[in-house]
Amino acid sequence: MNPSASPAPQAIRPALFLALMLAIHAPSTLAASEGDVFGLNIGQSFSYDDNVFRIPDESLPQGYSQQDDLISYTTVRGEMNKSFGRQRVYGDLGATQAKYQEFTRLDHQSYQGFLAWRMGFGTASEAGAFYRRSRAMSNFDESITWSGRNMLTTETYGGDVLLRIAGDWLGVASVTQAENRNSLEEFRSGESRVDAYDAGVRYAPRTGNYVELRYRRSVYDYFNRSGSNDYSYNQDELRLNSRWVASGRSTLDSGISLVRSRHENLDYLDFTGLAGYVAYRFKPTGATTIETRLARDVGSVGDGWGSYAKTTGLSVSPSWQATAKLELSGEVAYRHRKFDGYQALSSGNVVNDNSDRTDRIQVLRMAAKHAVTPDLSLNLGLRYEKRDSNQNTYDFIDRQVTLSAFYRF
């Protein structure tokens, strides 16, 4: 697919840079608001993972006699949030050093940076732009034969506008461009660029409730592929979102979408389906919150996949502020994933029919956060994940225990 076939996103970068520069160099006569934030955070974590590569119990990573490892993460992160009249510039920049005790070939440095600008104008209207860049190690969930270190770099530009039309009616629109690149040569064919734009209308009375209808168009370009191996496609989505604040203690959010995907060269991968979610947030007491979420998704599992999947899931996430300094939280989740379509080699030949693959995924998570002082916190996290698949090579069980400390200057 030729990137120039999507002309609107080609102007994203210069427009966003201009907007950000105008915001950053706004006249100094505008008074800064109280509550401006400039902070520095440092953290140290130790995590024990008993199945680093997410492989079946009877398998071992190539060159090793174990699945588990102890991992050290050292993190530094800075943040800023500054207002100038009706304008605001905010962002953060962080870096993490990961060290593995046994799987030293996975040692890496990751980072993430974010910069955004927002401006209010007219009567309750606003516009904004942002830039985000990150570098992190790819996960191993779908890599049944690979145990190397692939660093995924993602760069995203975006802008949006929220325009008050009349009364409680608003017009909404956004445009983004995202690009993914891999460090390992064998993953270069999965590199992609996504140009997307959406527009819609929203009805939002002052009660906090709203309902909106949006249309989104996304153009996926796998620029390192061609011919019968080119997975590039266009995706259209019509989405209805809503929020109902039933009381001060309960809120119901929902969204339902009709998704349609069309490939330029591989029409057997085309799909049309419904996706959506319902999330209910309830606060039975001032210190307790329970969120229940039911969701259904339709789409690709990963960039390297020709297959797509229909995923249905349910999760319950409680939290409890036990004392002024101690917070407990958790999650119980179940997902059912049914694959459709095919996975193809670079030659374009069908090598694996995934249409019969079904996964059942269970997740249990518990966490405790203790605020030793307003600036120092200690954290303990436990996580259990199990995937049962009718194709045994995708089965795995993983357990993680993480202890961390964070300090804010």
Report the C-alpha gap between 134 and 94 in whole angstroms: 9
Contacts 24+ apart (CB under 8 A), 33-36: 33/83, 35/83, 36/81, 36/82, 36/83
| pLDDT at 20 exceeding the cut of 50 | no
For the chain, how are helix, strand and coil distributed in percent, rounded to 5?
10, 65, 25
pLDDT digits (tens, 9 = 90+) for 226-257: 666 677 889 999 999 999 998 889 999 999 99
- All structural domains of the chain: 3-408 (2.40.160.10)
* Predicted pLDDT of residue 112: 97
* 3-class secondary structure, 118: strand
Give me the residues paired with residue 136 across strands.
152
Task: Give the DSSP letter of residue 51.
Answer: -
**Cβ-based neighbours of 130, under 8 Å, separated by 6 or more:** 16, 114, 115, 116, 117, 156, 157, 158, 159
pLDDT tier at 63, thresholds 50, 70, 90: confident
Percent of the chain with pLDDT over 90: 62
* 3-class secondary structure, 5: helix
pLDDT tier at 65, thresholds 50, 70, 90: confident
* 3-class secondary structure, 229: helix
pLDDT tier at 91, thresholds 50, 70, 90: very high
Which of these ranges, 2-16, 43-57, 297-311, has the smallest mean pLDDT?
2-16
* Predicted pLDDT of residue 26: 39
pLDDT tier at 131, thresholds 50, 70, 90: very high
* Predicted pLDDT of residue 228: 63
Report the C-alpha gap between 63 and 53 in whole angstroms: 13
Q: How far is CA 384 from the centre of its chain?
A: 20
* Predicted pLDDT of residue 344: 44
Averaged pLDDT, 316-329:
97
pLDDT digits (tens, 9 = 90+) for 337-360: 988 765 543 334 444 555 578 999
φ, ψ at 23 (rounded to 5°): -70, -45
Asked if residue 7 lies in contact with residue 217, where contact means CB atoms within 8 angstroms, the answer is no
* Predicted pLDDT of residue 245: 94
Torsion of CA 197, 198, 204, 208, to 10 degrees: -60
Distances (CA, A) of 386 to 49, 70, 315, 343, 358: 13, 20, 15, 24, 14
Asked if residue 71 lies in contact with residue 16, where contact means CB atoms within 8 angstroms, the answer is no
* Predicted pLDDT of residue 28: 35
* Predicted pLDDT of residue 141: 72
pLDDT tier at 190, thresholds 50, 70, 90: confident
Task: Give the DSSP letter of residue 65.
Answer: S
Torsion of CA 111, 114, 115, 119, to 10 degrees: -170
* Predicted pLDDT of residue 120: 95
The average confidence (pLDDT) of the chain is 85
Side-chain-side CA neighbours of 98 within 13 Å: the count stands at 21
Asked if residue 375 lies in contact with residue 42, where contact means CB atoms within 8 angstroms, the answer is no
* Predicted pLDDT of residue 404: 98
Q: How far is CA 61 from the centre of its chain?
A: 28
Place of tokens 């120039």: 4
**Cβ-based neighbours of 26, under 8 Å, separated by 6 or more:** 84, 85, 87
Torsion of CA 213, 131, 176, 24, to 10 degrees: 70
pLDDT digits (tens, 9 = 90+) for 151-184: 999 999 999 999 999 999 999 999 999 999 999 8
| pLDDT at 17 exceeding the cut of 70 | no
* 3-class secondary structure, 189: helix
Tokens coding 379: 């954290």
Tokens coding 70: 């102890």
Which tops the pLDDT comparison, 393 or 126?
126
Q: Find, among 167, 188, 63, the residue nearest to 124 by Cα.
A: 167
